[in-house]
Amino acid sequence: MREINILLVEDNLTDQEIVKEMLIGTQLFHYNLEVCERINHAIECVAQQKPDIILLDLSLPDGSGLQTLEKLQEQDLSIPIVILTGLDDPDVGLEAINKGAEDYLSKQEINNEHLLAKTISFAIERHKLRRELFLAMNHLQKYNDKLKDYSYVVTHDLKSPLTNLRSLVDMYQQSDDTSFRRKIMGKIGVSVNRLDDMIRSFSNVFLSEKDLSKEPETIDIHRAVSEVEEQLAELIRSTNARISTNFSSAGTVSFVPVLFKSILQNLITNSIKYSDEHREPRISITTEDTDDYVIIHFKDNGIGINLEQHQQRLFKLFNRFNTTKAKGTGVGLYMIKSILDASEGRIDIDSTVGEGTHFKLFLKKEKELAL
């Protein structure tokens, strides 16, 4: 039999005793009951030890009506709430449910021990199913957005180099000039290599999607950075790049290891590739610990990005912001954002042209998802 932690928010002593009495005989679950008489006290209890369900009176000394429901929802939306009230008003009940309460019981109804226990049990299960539906819809929306991106890639980004190749082949076939044909063959070779790079990059995107299904692990951030530095040792050495780190605020993070290293490798590689030719690459990687996220601050002294000009397409597939500085296919930022989005995280960018770029990676801690 499962155990349920119940928080009763009720200031009337008689009603408190009725609820306790009605729960004593239930055979649906074991339970622990905590009672709060003020909404502010209930908010503190929720923050300290999250209950499985809240039984909430709408008339409290420091709050009345549906405002009490809203105050608790502001604290944590992931906890199911059942409204208990002395008002036998169906309109209030419907409004409470419309605002996110799982159920509504008048205090006259809780004299039935079976009804109260069933309401608690059903509310928890219903909330769980609603949360799963929310997650499924959220994932479906993300996949639909990705399908649109991939459709654009197939119909535009991959089609363009093919069209260019067709034109070059036609020009080659229509000319008898050996010197001109030689130049055309050179351009054909460049186009073929470019198309090959794009297809390989597109394949890497799908491989990263496959890795998203893997279970996260506790990662030692310092060790992960060191391993990526070893993989990129020749690039770092040849450019005299320097990477400084400080992980005193947060030394570990829960993430899929191969994806975490992929993010680091993309950022370090890009910072070196797009370094300023007048100064050696300098990269700083530090961490910050917050209630909901481990934030990784990744700063470089490269050429920077004109955010005013490129903000709308920063994370689009095959978009590059500097085509003369270095070769590339423009999938790195797209992959990083896709990985973080799928992990309930995000990426923020602050950049100044000529000074460098500051990436902030928000890696969500393992907590129950709020609706």
Averaged in consecutive runs of 10 residues, what is the pLDDT profile of the chain (371 residues)? Answer: 90 90 85 92 89 91 84 86 78 83 83 82 90 79 69 63 84 90 89 75 64 83 95 93 96 91 90 92 96 95 87 65 50 82 89 94 71 39
- 354 in any annotated domain: yes
Residue 25 belongs to domain spanning: 3-133
Q: Any residues with CB less than 8 A from the CB of 150 and at least 6 apart, and which?
A: 317
Spell out the alpha helix ranges (H) of 274-324.
307-310
Residue where a domain stops, chosen among 193, 211, 229: 211
In a domain, 346, yes or no: yes
- Provide the residue count of the chain: 371
Residue of 282, 270, 283, 284 lying closest to 331 (CA atoms): 270
Domain end residue (candidates: 211, 234, 250):
211
Q: In sequence order, what DSSP letters do the residues of 109-178 get, joined into one string?
A: GGG-HHHHHHHHHHHHHHHHHHHHHHHHHHHHHHHHHHHHHHHHIIIIITHHHHHHHHHHHHHHHH---H
Identify the pLDDT of residue 155.
63
333 and 361 both lie in a single domain: yes
117 and 205 housed in the same domain: no
The reply to whether 206 and 222 lie within a common domain is: no
In a shared domain, residues 265 and 292: yes
pLDDT at 328: 47
What CATH number does residue 49 fall under? 3.40.50.2300
For the packed helices 332-342 and 113-152, what is the interaxial angle rounded to 10 degrees? Answer: 170
CATH number for 282: 3.30.565.10
Same domain, 234 and 249: yes
331/298 same-domain check: yes
Is the residue at 143 inside a domain?
Answer: no
Q: Is residue 339 within 8 Å of 353, Cβ to Cβ? A: no
Among candidate residues 172, 189, 211, the one where a domain is terminated: 211
Chain centroid offset of residue 104 CA: 33
Same domain flag for 230 and 370: yes
DSSP label of 99 = T
pLDDT tens-digit readout, 97-118: 888 899 988 877 777 768 888 9
Say if residue 74 is in the same domain as residue 121.
yes
Same-domain pairing of 198 and 322: no
pLDDT in tens, 206-249: 666 666 667 889 999 999 999 999 999 999 999 999 999 999 99
Confidence (pLDDT) at 156: 59
Residue 276 counted as domain residue: yes
- Has residue 146 been placed in a domain? no
User: pTM for the full model?
Assistant: 0.53
Q: How many separate domains does the chain show?
A: 3
| Assigned domain for 67 exists | yes
Q: How confident is the model at residue 287, as a pLDDT?
A: 97
Residues 289, 201 share a domain: no
Q: Is residue 220 part of a domain?
A: yes
Same domain, 64 and 108: yes
Does residue 218 sit in the same domain as residue 202? no
**How many CB atoms are closer than 10 A to CB 247?**
17
Residue 151 lies in a domain: no
For 58, 72, 248, the CA distances from 62, given in Å and listed in that order, are: 10, 13, 42
